[in-house]
Structure 1
Amino acid sequence: MFVREMTRPECIALVTASHIGRLACARDDHPYIVPIQYAFTTGRLYGFSMPGQKIDWMRDNAKVCVQIDEFADRESWKSVVIYGSYRELPDTNQTHHERLQAWSLLEKRINWWEPGGLKPAEQSVVGTSPHLFYAIEIDEMTGRAASAEPATTS
């Protein structure tokens, strides 16, 4: 197996083609990682969630990373890691346009609200939806790719 660094355009292509990633955050020296569905646009990922542990932790420590991969087999895979900062998009006049942009990008996928909109326990019915939108502002993006054959250069 041969492993190589991916170029930035290759990383962006993988992130654009995918929509499921693993979001990692930390609080009080404890790591936490969960699957998320996201939408990518230049410089950021958009996500949707109900209140819970990941939101609480990201509010306390905005530094996060997201891992996205494509796996063909043991010798053929790609993996991108995004380092960035969490930014909540509350339902206010200041973030209204960006919330609509996040919604419009996310809703292009079937069941776009999963897994962020589901909880393992029954939720009480309330008059308003507690869901929220957020952005991960991308600071850095790196990737690696593996293949059975060495990469050729043109």
Structure 2
Amino acid sequence: MLGELDQTQIEQLLREQVTGRIACHAEGSTYIVPVNYVFGGSYLYGQSAEGQKIRMMRNNPSVCFEVDEIRTIFDWKSVIIQGRFEEIIDVSEKEQLQQGLIHRLMPLSRNPSDHPAHGITEKDSDVGTKVQLIVYKVHIEQLSGRFERP
């Protein structure tokens, strides 16, 4: 059976998952890559080192984001978001969001100090000292969810 997720089911999936895929398009090229994220109501929050994804989103802030939960090929849920990238520049907002991202990811890490590229370090004060991370949010403009069940 195919169907649509309601708003509660969409938000539940977004809160349960930590990795989705973000797609961006700039200068005739489209790029999609997995990212870790935190869902916060009308925004998704993420962080990244400088690179192709950040350059493209700065150039064209319109993005598409997808997250799913796949149990089998006939038992899955998926959410698609259309939104706008916004880089966080305010230092206190950036630090607060970065700590939220780190604390969301840390329980999933076996050895946190091995992941400075994700902002995960042994001490909160070490964040940003090894790799400069860009913290961003995606303002959710439109979202939809689908599912299939046996």
Contact kept? 2:116, 2:130, Cα under 8 Å = no
Show the 5 A alignment for 1:1-154.
2-90=1-89, 95-108=90-103, 109-110=105-106, 111=109, 117=117, 129-148=131-150
Q: Which runs of 5+ in 1 are unaligned?
A: 119-126, 149-154
Instruction: Give, in angstroms, the shift of residue 141 of structure 1.
Output: 1.1
Identity of matched residues, %: 31
Give the superposed CA RMSD.
Answer: 2.2
More helix per residue: 1 or 2? 2
Divergent runs of 4+, >3 A: none
Distance 1:85 1:101 in 2: 20
Aligned length: 134
Cα displacement string for residues 21-70 of structure 1 (whole angstroms, at most 9, x for unaligned residues): 00000012221000000011111011111100000000000000110000
Distance 2:77 2:144 in 1: 11
Contact kept? 1:48, 1:133, Cα under 8 Å = yes
Q: Which runs of 5+ in 2 are unaligned?
A: 119-128
Q: Which has the larger radius of gyration?
A: 1
Instruction: Give, in angstroms, the shift of residue 115 of structure 1.
Output: 8.9
TM-score (norm 2): 0.81
Distance 2:116 2:60 in 1: 19
Aligned to 2:126: none
TM-score (norm 1): 0.79
Q: Which amino acid aligns with 1:62?
A: P
Structure with more relative contact order (C-alpha pairs < 8 Å, separation 6 or more):
1
